[in-house]
Structure 1
Amino acid sequence: MSATITAADINKLRQTTGAGMLDCRKALTESNGDFEAAIDWLRKQGQKVAAKRSDREAKEGVVLANTTADNKAGIVLCISCETDFVSKNAEFVAFAQGIADAAIANNVKTAEELNEVSVNGAKVADLINDKLAAIGEKIAISRFERIDAEFVASYIHGANRMGVLVGFNKPAAEAGKDVAMQIAAMNPLAVDESSIAPETIAREKDIAIEQIKAEGKPAEMAEKIAIGKVNKFLKENTLLAQPFVKDNAKSVSDFLKSIDADLKVIEFKRVALG
């Protein structure tokens, strides 16, 4: 005998899962009114949608950066989706914020660990799957980064389109946001020259030498000119050597020294959409 499916049952399932009314009605019908089985049915449908959309690029989404109350750790993550219509939706932003809050509250260190965290009795992976089924777009934790340091500053730029974390060797509340904004604007590759892989520097030098030779300059000049080009590359692409965006007359290194001679950037993470 088929169970009677009421409007209240359908509404309850909608509120719990975020799925559409017709999908909820079908789920309850397929599960003969069993609420938990209906949730499982919807999740299975979501998994099928995920499989169908596995080749779709999710270039939109919400980027969030946050730190623990004591600023000893921070996370930056991207909950990706396919369209800006979804990413700009207040409900989706709140959904992403809930996941970011759970990451901080549960001291999460990896995306895999975050997927297993429970939020209001459901795993994050299942919540994402339910949201996917409800809106019909590919949704995933596409990036997750974490920093542990004596002091971690966070910064979100451009309506949740970019997030930055910066780890310092000591408290840096005043400098933290300024350095994070520098990273957001100038996108450095590394903290300093020692943080850039030797093969990257060697590659830049080889490219410069070939460019110089192609210009017809003597081989004996190529090495010297190439070194200058590499130095320019390092100045443009290492955080501490970059001109400080708020005062181009000084470098980021100079700025930090003006705050505290012993203040150092340990590492940073930058996550951006697109």
Structure 2
Amino acid sequence: MPITAALVKQLRERTGAGMMDCKRALTEVDGDLERAAEFLRKAGQAKADRKAARVAAQGLVLLREDADRSRCVVLEINCETDFVAKDENFMRFAESLADLVLSREPADVEELLAMEVEGESVEALRRQLVAKIGENISVRRFELVSSSDVLGAYSHHGRIGTLVEMQGGSVDLARDLAMQVAAMSPRYVGWDDIPEAELAKEREILAVQAEKEGKPPHIVSKMVEGRLRKQFDAVTLSSQAFVKDPDKRVRDLLAQSGASVLRFLRYEVGEGIERREVDFVKEVREQASAK
């Protein structure tokens, strides 16, 4: 049967695939709309498989809180480029995953991908989106925190998501500290959380550096402890200067409120993912030959 523009449009609206892909699919199955949709789904899975090895280090970090703020989700989903991270289809998929984690509480990413939504698994929907957008998409990680204490969350333009759990204090203070975690990237809540082995290693390094400066032994000891304090104060939440009022330390705010931080969580898009240098000419050739 003839492949009309109206038929191509109908298939595009149904599948979200590109115009030429829709026309090719309809041609392959002699204009049968159902078979064309199935053809595109199969082709999409093949494309998803080919793209799976490509590095996805851009993307979004999303937060979701329930109405009473007793539960909060932090989720990271990755794509290959910042352009796709702003794509409406990608953003809707990411938001639906955060909502799904909050409502159905999967244990891990594997369980999340296996969950069914309107008769299809999340993994199948991910593959369809890969085929539609043309980039590898990876659901990297999430954490669902449930607490009877105080939770404060902060999102920075979808690039950084943070969560602070406190005992005592207010939601406003918890949110301020979540903002602090986003801005200052602490590694520990307090000095008691720093491993002794790490402190010993840094003391040794700082001692060698001080001795090379020709300082006498009694001065070296004081220099090491002073530098150690400065170094770890910078990465310890309670010791950091408060970003909204640098004259105060976080520990002072906590003391004034009778509060203590139990833990914090910080996700940043692509952290720890090794990005590869891209040869764009080579990549275009590879993509052209794969079609």
TM range, smaller chain: 0.7 to 0.9
| Separation in structure 2 between the aligned mates of residue 9 and residue 24 of structure 1, nearest angstrom | 9
Cα deviations by residue, 1:88-131 (Å, 9 ceiling, x for unpaired): 22342222112211111112342222212333332222211111
Is it true that 1:58 corresponds to 2:56 in the alignment? Answer: yes
Specify the alignment match of 1:156 in structure 2.
Answer: 155
Q: Is the 8 A contact 1:165 1:270 kept in 2?
A: yes
Aligned-residue offset at 1:241: 1.1
Give 1:249 deviation, angstroms. Answer: 1.7
- State the one-letter code of the partner of 2:225: I
Q: Return closer, same or farther for 1:38/1:268 CA change in 2, 3 Å cut-off.
A: farther
Which residue number corresponds to residue 267 of structure 1?
A: 263
Residue in 1 that maps onto 2:236: 238
CA pair 221-137 structure 1, distance change in 2 beyond 3 A: same
State the 1:139 CA deviation: 0.7
Cα 1:169–1:162 change in 2 (3 A) is same
Q: Equivalent of 2:70, from 66, 69, 72?
A: 72
Match of 1:125 among 117, 123, 126: 123
What is the aligned length? 268
- Corresponding residue of 1:112: 110
Moved segments of 4+, more than 6 Å: 3-9
Task: For 1:9 and 1:215, locate their aligned partners in 2 and report how far apart those are by CA, in whole Å.
Answer: 79
Secondary structure of the equivalent of 2:224? helix
User: Which residue pairs with 1:167 in the alignment?
Assistant: 165
- Identical residues among aligned pairs (%): 38
Cross-structure match for 1:255: 253
Tell me, in whole angstroms, the C-alpha distance in 2 between the residues paired with 1:48 and 1:207: 52
Amino acid aligned to 1:247: D
Question: Given that residues 101 and 144 in structure 2 are in contact (C-alpha distance below 8 angstroms), is that contact kept between their aligned partners in structure 1?
Answer: no
Q: Quick one: distance in 1 between partners of 2:168 and 2:105?
A: 21
For structure 1, the 5+ residue unaligned runs are none
Give the aligned residue type for 1:52.
Answer: R
Deviation, 1:238, is 0.9
Counterpart selection for 2:140 from 139, 142, 152: 142
Q: Describe the shift of the 1:15–1:117 C-alpha distance in structure 2 as closer, same or farther (beyond 3 A).
A: farther
CA 1:249 to 1:102, structure 2 compared with 1: closer, same or farther past 3 Å?
A: same
Instruction: Give the letter for the 2:154 counterpart.
Output: Y
Q: Secondary structure at the match of 1:230?
A: helix
Unaligned runs of 5+ in 2: 271-291
The 1:19–1:183 alpha-carbon spacing in structure 2 relative to 1, beyond 3 Å, is same
SS across alignment from 1:237: coil
Distance in 1, matches of 2:211 and 2:94, equals 52
Partners of 1:97 and 1:207 lie apart in 2 by 46
Match of 2:284 in 1: none
TM-score by length of 1: 0.84
* Structure 1 residues 26 and 86: CA distance shift in structure 2, 3 A: same
CA distance in 1, matches of 2:169, 2:99: 23
Query: CA shift at 1:255, angstroms?
Result: 1.2
Alignment RMSD (CA, Å): 2.7
What is residue 82 of structure 1 aligned with on the other side? 80
Counterpart contact for 1:148–1:167, Cα < 8 Å: no
Shift of the alpha carbon at 1:15? Answer: 4.0
Q: In the alignment, which residue of structure 1 is the partner of 2:47? A: 49
Greater shift, 213-222 or 187-196, is seen at 213-222
The one-letter amino acid of 2:69's match is N
Cα separation, 2, equivalents of 1:46 and 1:219:
68
